[in-house]
Amino acid sequence: MILRRTCKEVSALLVAREDRDLPLVERVALRFHLAACSACPAFERQLLTMRNAFQRWRHYSEE
C-alpha cells in the first residue's frame, strides 16, 4: 500500500507543505488520506488559519 499514510505521517506532510513542494506520490497520498479521514482535515484547516494569521500579522506590523 504505497499510498497509505497514518494521521501522524499526514500531519508531518501537511506541516512540511507550508515550506516546500511535496513529491507527487506524497501529494496523492495526502489527498487520498484527507478524503477518507475524519480528523486530519481539521488539522489542515488549523494550519491554513495559521498561514493566514501570519500574512495578516506581517500586514499589521507595517501599518
Q: For other proteins, what does the binding mask look like between residues 11 and 50, x meaning CB under 8 A? A: xx--xx-xxx-----------------xxx-xx-xxxxxx
- Given the complex with other proteins, which of 1 and 60 has the nearer CB atom? 60
Q: How far apart are CA 33 and CA 19, in angstroms?
A: 20
DSSP state of 63: -
Please count the other Cβ atoms lying within 10 Å of the Cβ belonging to residue 15: 12
Grid cell locating 13: 506532510
**Interface residues toward other proteins, by CB under 8 A:** 6-9, 11-12, 15-16, 18-20, 38-40, 42-43, 45-50, 52-54, 56-58, 60-63
